[in-house]
Amino acid sequence: MKAKLVIALVSILVIGSLVWVARSSEKNSEPEDFVATSPKGILSAQEMSYNFGTVSMAKGKVNHEFKLKNTGPETIVVKKMYTSCMCTTVTLKAGGEDFGPFGMPGHGFIPPINVKVEPGQEIIAVAVFDPNAHGPAGVGKIDRVITVENNAGAPIEFQFSAMVTP
């Protein structure tokens, strides 16, 4: 009788541990799409980071486009965009117009842009990285962030990296 009780308790503990581990790994897995959401709308992006690989200072600036889409039923307003470093700028392309370029707070005024994004509309944040901005000391691995403030929820942060060579 005791042996059956011990086996039952061990089985329950093993199954419980497996369920706990499975739930923990679900919480830590990165979602396929990033979504900023609120009662005002849904702004989503499929690609949150980009690696330029090796970037030569001699070849100059590189850029990458991050796409955002209003997947909700309400109009969303992009309030501001800015970067984490003076070596990076971002321009917003929306409705056939360009807004920016915008840089790092503290290295110039970052004005509110208040661009409306209608339901179903896609906009593009064009990141431009200048590997020469830091001079010869700027070689090596870099990580930068572009922030998109909006009224749909938490700011969206795009990240990019590169290995800068002379």
**pLDDT means over runs of 10, the chain (166 residues):** 53 46 41 49 90 96 97 95 97 96 91 96 98 94 97 93 97
Residues 6 and 38 in one domain: no
Closest to 81 in 3D by CA, of 93, 70, 97, 71: 93
pLDDT digits (tens, 9 = 90+) for 61-92: 999 999 999 999 999 999 999 999 999 999 99
Which structural domain, as residue segments, surrounds residue 7?
1-30
Q: Which residue has the tokens 């970037």?
A: 55
Residues 153 and 106 in one domain: yes
CA dihedral 64, 151, 42, 75 (to 10 degrees): -100
Q: How many CB atoms lie within 10 A of CB 123?
A: 21
Beta bridge partners of 35: 44
Give the CATH number, domain containing residue 132: 2.60.40.10
Residues 5 and 79 in one domain: no
